Structure 1
């Protein structure tokens, strides 16, 4: 009887040991999450209610930063407008190109892995300063883009695309579209999970390629599209390097991205409290945008298991 009574105690001890081992393995992540996410987030909220210049101690001023942002800061609305314009144009184009390339690469041809790697490389190096400098050279007045246009049309545009107010934003949108590698890989994984039998049955029923795409590919790929859309929206609102290195926010504030404006208020004008308030506002905007996507997902995201 004593041996029987010891079995539950041993089972409990084993369960506690396994739980302890699990917590030990995730301890580095917990420490990193607390040190680099939770604590900085709490400080961000606190600093947004203070006047802080990085040189002296923060001074509590309540809602003055937020009041000034909404009533006396025209560049706040300008940077917000520029960022929304970028998100609305760049993200759909990037996702469309990523899906197109993923469908072209969804084959079993010899050497297809090399092509997948080549197409993914721009996303690896896309956020670097080197690529930004390269983009400046490509779209400069004497850059490769004007040379190609002259070869094709016989006319040299003689314009710097990143300095012209009408084309500066579109040059950055084109850079975003070029960096389609990450969503492409995710789309490719989703396409490989669609059973071939669905397409074979549709072909036997006489469905053409467009109808197969609309009735099979898009519905079954919609959960992947949903994930890509959410991630790209978040990344789009966080755009910073392109505006800082390539255009410097110009010309005429046409590429003054919100994060670039936050950076300038915090590290150029030493208004860290004001920059923290701007960051909190962007956090709310991103939260609302993602919430809208989640709220509307039930109308266009198809889950096969749920159906």
Structure 2
């Protein structure tokens, strides 16, 4: 089956969007996934970190195979303050740097705590950011690039250029605070579910670069279903990176993304208020648990 082909009954997902995992023991991985599915089917209830207006139809379809009660009580990010399990300290100077920029002018770039990239990909990212001429805040964890401790592989003169104000690089950042900052106009992300929901909660359109697992179908939903961002379909290529940044940050299409995600963000705020879908679902969950003998 061709990678660009649509997956029957899962449109608009393409074959290349199906979750994939790197493992040296595929049989054990498949057995683990089967145990997870069977365990979920046998559960007395399923709690979801999502909300009705975002995934109602998908959850309705899923409930046919998982008949236990479903409780959509998210986004969890709105219930609890941000926390980080990273051993890298959050760089708070990124917030003061953002304070110097106009609203919606800065692209935030972070690919999470697990993604590893090749040297060639790292350089394409750097040149794509630089060539876009858009201000950016780039999180580069120590060690994710093979053969490099941190920034040694950056092109000659790159750091000197961004010191002039176009960009800022940190080892780790307080992501929820960053996304809530008025200067942020876009988020280039790996589309892990937590990062995606954080972006949705703050009304920030996305550029998607998924790597594995659920990041792949989430990215397709961002670009083709919710239509709140752009997916880099061909990996890391500087020309496509530059084009995607301009689409989200500069072009009229970016305004459409912002309007659509702002509408979803408003639904987030409503679903958490008394009488909202997540508020009511949480009440249902409490009552359901209290009904147990």
TM-score (norm 2): 0.24
Higher-RCO chain (CA-CA 8 Å, sequence separation at least 6): 1
Structure with greater strand percent? 2
Structure with greater helix percent? 1
TM-score (norm 1): 0.23
Query: Rg larger in 1 or in 2?
Result: 1
